[in-house]
Structure 1
């Protein structure tokens, strides 16, 4: 069992990411040494040196994002001016108030400073202190895998056409020799490299956008709801932390990857204050509680992410989120706050709540439950939505 510093990387996410980094790096250097030998030309040397630099920077920022961490609020945290607590949400788990831009991560078990999201690949949250390292990790990974894709593609082409080059080449081409196993591994690594360029490249785009707008993924959702609440009125919600792309960029990205500020107090635009966003969050929470509807379970649900027994419509339309699923037993009561056509999100009421009771919130299939209206099952209403 991993303990100490190794505990953070003894998880399927970091171990998988490390495996991809080292596999692509090893195969690319191996093929590059035959396709464009670094000892025989300046171009070959630069090609290998640049790739090794990309690989090293990727690994460095990956480990830094893990071990630097996002930064956590201390337990029992309170604002310096106690009167300001009325503008903040209270976290029962951490037994303290949530500072502006802070959110509780159920996986880390702490309130995270400027939380963007919990990333399984680094087995940690992306937040105030490691946002720059995480963005740099994505950038160098895309650069390295883009170069690896070119090197591995060219190496495969030369290896597969080696006989043609032997008979019809001018004798100056470098031959790439691959056995059956190394050929298969080369194709596998090429697939990994292309996959990283596409998938991680998309994630990099969203992270750069978050940095330029100074708006995290969680804040995207808050701002979207804030604007939706004001549709049809003359009121307009102003996001308080968008200082312009240059200032936003300098808050996160620099050569040392050290963020500006303490993660609690933030510079804001004119007309806003430190609690503009938190007041909006509290108002949204109040509306959410007002919209809450009560459902009761008609059948059991195991909490499976692949509920094959609940119908193909449920199976083919899962909620695209890493939020958990909750198990249900017939007769359970659930307070629902979010609706999809085939899935619902809510909190299961505990039969006997205690101070140590853990709240069970998550998604579950809609066909498993029926809405209650004043304690009476509303079968007709629920049937119309299926």
Structure 2
């Protein structure tokens, strides 16, 4: 006769195993629906940081015009103070030197204004839309459109940029194929301008700030007193002064409101020019190094990664757009086809860059830069 054994103590374990198996199946089902062979930690971090990137990109696009206004206002204020304080000072000191400084300073100001205006208003260069681009080397994942060589997508402008370097909020514009030279020369002339003001304004600042007496101390009312050797207080009467024991009181210098404004203006000039000299000077040095190597800021990171990757395999990476420092500068400044340094760099020039931004010659092409289209 068969016997039936009720083992209720096994029911919790069986229920636990069933629930555990159910959640394992559910987890693998969800992962199978979202599986990506290219998923890694960096990709997951980019996805998590996407809301922050969206906020930064849109805020940069929105406040860009205010940055441009700030640059114009600060530059105009520095020029106004230079004329207000520097021009009379140098005119009374040496009229011939003053004339030279005015001519030289206005030459710098003309170049600063021209190159900043061109960098802001000139579009950086965009790939043609709705046309077949035979030069394309890849497809932009954001635009879903062909990308020519050296082209990258700008998340702020939300479109691809030819030979993109970076998006500059102070220009409210991307720096790329068509306006990279304007951006660089603006920085170069701005550094020359602030250095010019610092050098020829240092003596004026020294005389106004350090050699001018400070504000007078408040005048005490009442009869003056003194302490004798015993510590007793003695009233200093008119007879005491007539005895010749004390010296004549010093004549106090009263600082006028105009002198106070002059001091404040000089301090303002010192802070603005020093800050621009160090901040913009570092950026100018970085872009000078990039121009010497024939690359942009984005390409510098790509070339560095490629150099490391190939070095691990015992190979050497060669930048295909590096023709040597001299030729790189000529191409960057557009000094080909008879263009000269004196006419097209030292003076404002709106000449177009080399080529069309879609095709690029490399070190493998046996063509001299002067022969390039």
State the Cα RMSD in Å: 2.6
- The one-character-per-residue Cα deviations of 1:188-234 (angstroms, maximum 9, x if unpaired) are 12111111111111111111122221100000110111112123323
Q: Secondary structure at the match of 1:36?
A: helix
Cα shift at 1:266: 0.8
Cα distance in 2 between the residues matched to 1:246 and 1:195: 31
Q: When the two structures are superposed, what TM-score results if normalisation uses the length of structure 2? A: 0.62
Instruction: Indicate the structure with greater helix content.
Output: 2
| 1:290-347 C-alpha deviation (Å, 9 max, x unpaired) | xxxxxxxxxxxxxxxxxxxxxxxxxxxxxxxxxxxxxxxxxxxxxxxxxxxxxxxxxx
Moved more, 244-253 or 136-145: 244-253
Look up the match of 2:304: 224
> Structure 2: 5+ residue runs without aligned partners?
1-60, 215-256, 336-343, 367-373
Aligned to 2:354: 260
User: Could you tell me how far 1:8 is from its partner in structure 2?
Assistant: 11
State the secondary structure of the residue aligned to 1:205: helix
- Aligned pair in 2 of structure 1 residues 80, 89: CA closer, same or farther (>3 Å)? closer
Secondary structure of 1:264's aligned partner:
coil
Q: 2:338 matched to 1:244? A: no
Rounded to whole Å, the distance in 2 between the matches of 1:15 and 1:248 is 33
| Contact 2:163–2:177 (CA under 8 A) maintained in structure 1 | yes
Within the candidate set 46, 49, 60, 2:100 is matched to: 46
Mapped to 2, the partners of 1:238 and 1:163 lie a distance apart of 63
Question: Unaligned regions of 5+ residues in structure 1, if any?
Answer: 1-6, 165-176, 273-386
**2:364 corresponds to 1:270:** yes
Separation of aligned partners in 1, 2:262 and 2:161: 44
Q: How does 1:296-311 map to 2 (within 5 A)?
A: none
Give aligned pairs, total.
Answer: 249
- The answer on 1:235 being equivalent to 2:284 is no
Contact 1:24–1:145 (8 Å) recurs in 2? no
Structure of greater relative contact order (alpha carbons < 8 Å, 6+ residues apart): 2
User: Does residue 102 of structure 1 match 2:182?
Assistant: no
What secondary structure does 1:104 align onto?
A: strand
Higher Rg of the two aligned structures = 2
SS class of match (1:11): helix
Cα deviations across residues 166-191 of structure 1 (Å, max 9, x unaligned)?
xxxxxxxxxxx953233212211211
- Distance in 1, matches of 2:309 and 2:82, equals 52
Deviation at 1:49?
A: 1.8
Does 2:141 match 1:66? no
Matched position secondary structure for 2:321: coil
Aligned residue among 57, 63, 68 for 2:111: 57
- Secondary structure in structure 2 of the residue aligned to 1:220: helix
Cα 1:234–1:77 shift into 2, 3 Å: farther
In structure 2, how many angstroms separate the alpha carbons of the residues matched to 1:239 and 1:267? 12
**Structure 2 SS opposite 1:179:** helix
Task: Flag the structure with higher strand content.
Answer: 1
